Copies of this chain bind each other. A is one copy, B any other.
Amino acid sequence: MTAARGGFKKGGRGAPAGPLPLRLVVLAGGVGAARFLAGLVAVAPDSQLTVIGNTGDDFTVHGLHISPDLDTVSYSLAGLGDWERGWGLKGETWGAAEQFRRLGDDTWFQLGDRDLATHVWRTEQLRRGRPLSEVTRRLAERLQLGFALLPMTDQSVATRVLTADGRDLHIQEYLVREACQPEIERIEYRGIERAQPGPGVGEAIREADLVVIAPSNPVISIGPILAVPGLRAALMAAAQVIAVSPIVGGEAVKGPAVPMLRSVGVAPSAAGVAAIYADLISDLVMDQQDAELADAVAATGVRPHLCDTLMVDQAARERLAAAVLAAASIPPVRSAQSG
């Protein structure tokens, strides 16, 4: 990417003459973001990447602190993720769950044995008084991620689903235990008003050449990140912000994005995604199946870019990442090398 980089660097006043690494920031939820990132690190290997992860679905199980989205990103990008299942570690075993059941503990939140070790490790680090950002930095280092993984905040935020039948569920209870069945009345990011952007989060956005909003659920994955006080303003001042639509043909590639979007009064479509991010993004990369929505997207003031967004394999992930860089007028290193 080195040869192509200089030309696309923005705000280069006072920058040294030589090419600088492209500074990329990705706002990330879980599986969709992990897939996109696997493509991005392949097509932009020399970029300086910072991933800002959602912690709104962090959860306590068996007294352990679990950060599902951070873990999905780090397991996947460390080459340890189970792409088939979409979460957790490959080659995972389930002996601990058997013992938890024997001891009478709930096991609806399935924790594999290797995964459990991560949570034990993280919980011990947190109990020693280290903030989540520091613990995540150590974890990323030990898993040799090769990029910065920053929790959106070090404060505790809980995404809650208030259901039509009057229940107040943690997002993980809604997603996993209740299998997304309850009708949603409202989504809350509880604690968000006391949250501050995690260390480095504001700086990374400020210094980024490009911020990409990953194809993650806009309400429960990206929504909590955008709701951290100060982050929306930082993004509005960013060099360039692009989103990838997680909605294809009116359906979510994975997970409950459709009812989630409906719950916040937004159409479950690429046009709805454009509308929800309209004040932040200049461009939306959306699936070619949704070509007929391009005008509706453009009507929100967002430039539509059509391509195949379904990340069925690594080649597809890289194609999508390249399309996002192209939409930002940044050619991917592979094309640059072969062209």
Shortest distance in angstroms between A167's beta carbon and chain B's nearest beta carbon?
24
Q: A112 contacts which chain B residues (CB < 8 A)?
A: 95
Given A93-B93, A103-B142, A104-B142, the answer on whether A98 and B123 have CB atoms closer than 8 Å is no
Decide yes or no whether A134 CB sits under 8 A from chain B: no
Known A112-B95, A124-B62; contact A117-B103, beta-carbon cutoff 8 A: yes
A114 to B101 Cα, complex, angstroms = 10
Shortest A329–chain B CB gap in Å is 39
Please pick, from B97, B103, B104, B114, the residue contacting A99 in the complex, using a CB distance under 8 A: B114
Query: When the two chains form the complex, which single residue of B64, B96, B127, B143 contacts A102, counting CB atoms closer than 8 Å?
Result: B143
> A108 an interface residue at 8 Å Cβ cutoff?
no
Copy tally for this chain in the complex stands at 2
Q: A95 and B98: CB pair below 8 A?
A: no
In the complex, whether A234 has a CB less than 8 A from a CB of chain B is no
List the B residue with the shortest CB-CB distance to A100. B117
A296-334 interface code vs B (CB 8 A; 1 in, 0 out): 000000000000000000000000000000000000000
Size of A's binding interface in residues, CB under 8 A:
32
- A120 at interface, CB cutoff 8 A: yes
Q: Is the interface of A mostly helix, strand, loop or mixed?
A: helix
Contacts of A98 in B (CB 8 A): 114, 117
Residues of B within 8 A of A102 (CB): 142-143
Docked pose: A124 CA to B63 CA in angstroms: 5
Residues of B within 8 A of A63 (CB): 120, 123-124, 127
Q: Smallest CB–CB gap between A64 and chain B, Å?
A: 7
Q: What B residues does A124 contact at CB under 8 A?
A: 62-64
Q: Does A116 contact B (CB under 8 A)?
A: yes
**Cα A127 to Cα B63 with chains together (Å):** 8
Contacts of A91 in B (CB 8 A): 95
Tell me if A8 is interfacial: C-beta within 8 Å of chain B: no
| Contact mask for chain A residues 113-132; partner B; CB cutoff 8 A; 1 contact, 0 none | 11111101101100100000
A77 to chain B, nearest CB (A): 14
Task: Give the residues in chain B near A142, CB-CB below 8 Å.
Answer: 102-104
- Residue of B105, B117, B123 touching A116 (CB-CB under 8 A): B117
Check A139 for interface membership: any CB of B closer than 8 A: yes
With a 10 A CB-CB cut-off, give which of A112, A118, A121 has the most chain B CB atoms.
Answer: A121
Residues of B within 8 A of A143 (CB): 102-103
Given contacts A95-B95, A96-B120, A99-B121, 18 further A-B contacts (CB under 8 A): A62-B117, A63-B123, A63-B124, A64-B120, A92-B95, A96-B113, A96-B116, A97-B117, A99-B114, A99-B115, A99-B117, A100-B120, A102-B143, A103-B118, A103-B121, A104-B142, A105-B121, A116-B120
